[in-house]
């Protein structure tokens, strides 16, 4: 290994950032391209994203969950506090198989809350800690580095890393929540005969591409955590 890379800490400082950025960019580009590709494929029943969402919610007894139109592209989400499924411009009134998959996915989150799906309860429980960690970890870490000649400074560095670990934890527990919502979406679209055959496969491709963005986020977060740990250990020497 070249001396420059060892002495400058390239492998522990710069490379993880670059790798994380590339992974996230690839995942983001893939989901956008996949969604765009199947946005031109319209379902044979002529249902819109909003109509599909209403049918799924009602079939699960979630008559109280509203559906709203929100501006933006792929800004779709379920708001558990307001009991609202919000569908974006590219989903709400669209009849594409891509739109129906996204709408069904967000309804999957509503069903998860209704049945008290365990992973989503865990995610909700760690959100307050995650909010604290995301706001404070960098400040504490950087101040610790500035004071790293002392044991107090090193302690602050590790405190910052622990706080960042809470962010990583949130990313990890989000994975089963998102994968389960996608599985529920495809099962629902198939069982209610909203999509069938090739349409269902195409919708599944959109949801799998979307799921990979969460995998990329976890990979990036873990890489950054390992990078911070490596920096801390170098300062301890």
**In sequence order, what are the residues at sequence separation of 6 or more whose Cβ sits closer than 8 angstroms to the Cβ of residue 104?**
52, 53, 56, 184, 185, 186, 188, 189, 194, 203
Rounded CA separation 111/227 (Å): 38
Q: What is the pTM (predicted TM-score) of this model?
A: 0.85
Assess whether 6 carries a catalytic annotation: no
Q: What pLDDT digit, counting tens, does each position of 35-78 carry?
A: 999 999 999 999 999 999 999 999 999 999 999 999 988 899 99
Rounded CA separation 182/129 (Å): 26
Determine which one of 6, 106, 178, 190 is catalytic.
Answer: 106
CB 53 within 8 A of CB 94: no
CA distances (Å), origin 236, targets 84, 154, 163, 181 = 50, 7, 19, 44
User: pLDDT value at position 156?
Assistant: 95
The beta strand positions in the chain, using DSSP E, are 66-69, 77-79, 84-87
């Amino acid at each position: 290994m070249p001396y420059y890379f060892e002495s400058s800490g390239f492998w522990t400082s710069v490379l993880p950032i670059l790798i994380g950025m590339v992974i996230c960019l690839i995942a983001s580009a893939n989901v956008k391209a996949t969604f765009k590709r199947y946005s031109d494929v319209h379902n044979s029943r002529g249902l819109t994203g909003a109509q599909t969402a209403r049918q799924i919610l009602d079939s699960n007894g979630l008559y109280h969950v509203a559906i709203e139109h929100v501006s933006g592209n792929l800004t779709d989400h379920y708001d558990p506090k307001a009991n609202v499924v919000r569908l974006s411009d590219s989903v709400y009134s669209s009849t594409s198989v891509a739109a129906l998959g996204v709408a069904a996915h967000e309804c999957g989150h509503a069903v998860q809350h209704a049945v008290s799906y365990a992973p989503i309860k865990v995610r909700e429980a760690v959100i307050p800690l995650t909010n604290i960690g995301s706001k404070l970890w960098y400040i504490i870490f950087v101040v610790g580095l500035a004071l790293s000649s002392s044991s107090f400074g090193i302690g602050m560095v590790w405190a910052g890393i622990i706080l960042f670990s809470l962010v990583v934890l949130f990313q990890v527990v989000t994975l089963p929540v998102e994968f389960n919502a996608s599985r529920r979406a495809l099962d629902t679209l198939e069982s209610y005969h909203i999509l069938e055959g090739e349409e269902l496969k195409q919708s599944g491709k959109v949801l799998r591409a979307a799921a990979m963005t969460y995998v990329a986020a976890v990979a990036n977060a873990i890489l950054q955590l390992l990078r911070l740990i490596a920096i801390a250990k170098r300062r301890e020497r």
